[in-house]
Amino acid sequence: MKCRIGFVSNSSSSSFVIKKKDLKKFQICAIKHHLEFGKLLGMENCDEECDRWTIFGIKNKKYKFIQFETSMTNFNMREFLKKIGVSDEVVPEEPEW
């Protein structure tokens, strides 16, 4: 299986991968509970009506990456990652269409 590190998007979905070694433990916890932390941070689209991002690799310690996937969500994960102190260098660039 091939793993692409980068940001992938089309009109209805997007996904990207971040290396776990680039995150602090509290950032991983915040990512796992992103809607709840987003609400505490005053972000928009954090209610139950908003779709959560699907996040893989958090619970399994063997995985070296956390994979983010979403389809038609309004929660701004890029903004959230900045608010919890994740470096811009760690988050892949969004493609310019």
Residues 6+ apart with CB under 8 A from 23: 31, 66, 86, 90
Q: What is the pTM of this model?
A: 0.78
Calpha distance 56→73 (Å, rounded): 17
Local confidence pLDDT in tens for the 97 residues of the chain: 444 444 444 455 678 889 999 999 999 999 999 999 999 999 988 877 777 888 999 888 888 999 888 876 678 888 999 999 999 888 877 654 4
* Residue in the block written with tokens 């680039």: 22
